[in-house]
Amino acid sequence: MPMNIHCKSGNDDLGQHIVPSDQNYTWSFYPNIWDSTLYFYWIQWVRSDGKQVSGDFDIYRESREVLKCRDRCVWYAKNDGIYFRYNWKVPDHMQLMYQWPN
């Protein structure tokens, strides 16, 4: 099922997007000079088990990602929540960051 996402920061609204199954949505930015860059997402999605889930979360918080992302951050939506891939040397090394609300 496609995923409905809306990404924005305090200064920049990237709009709402429909991301088809097994596809990616990418965007780029430069962190601000105050090291306080924050982007957040709202997601609505029908999981593989047919349950509709939605929630919002910080997709990029400078204080958290500055040392982990380097030149890119990668997030995955799975049935149990949103995962962050932060170790590029270990294949499929992901950390659950946000669980879907009940």
Tell me, what's the pLDDT at 26? 81
DSSP alpha helix (H) spans, 1-102 = 62-65
Residue ranges of domains in the chain: 3-26+34-99
Summarize the confidence of residues 11-23 as an average pLDDT. 89
Nearest to 16 by CA among 42, 52, 46: 42
- Whether 4 shows a pLDDT value over 80: the answer reads yes
Backbone dihedral region of 34: left (phi > 0), alpha (psi from -120 to 50 degrees) or beta? alpha
Summarize the confidence of residues 48-75 as an average pLDDT. 81
> Residue 42's pLDDT band (boundaries 50, 70, 90)?
very high
Structure tokens at 82: 């949103």
Of 35 and 40, the structure prediction assigns the larger pLDDT to 40
Nearby residues of 40 by Cβ (< 8 Å), 6 or more positions away: 7, 8, 9, 56, 57, 58, 59
Tokens 């982990």 belong to residue: 68
Nearest to 30 by CA among 22, 21, 39: 39
Structure tokens at 35: 């090291």
Structure tokens at 81: 């929540």
Q: What is the mean pLDDT of the chain?
A: 83
Tell me, what's the pLDDT at 5? 92
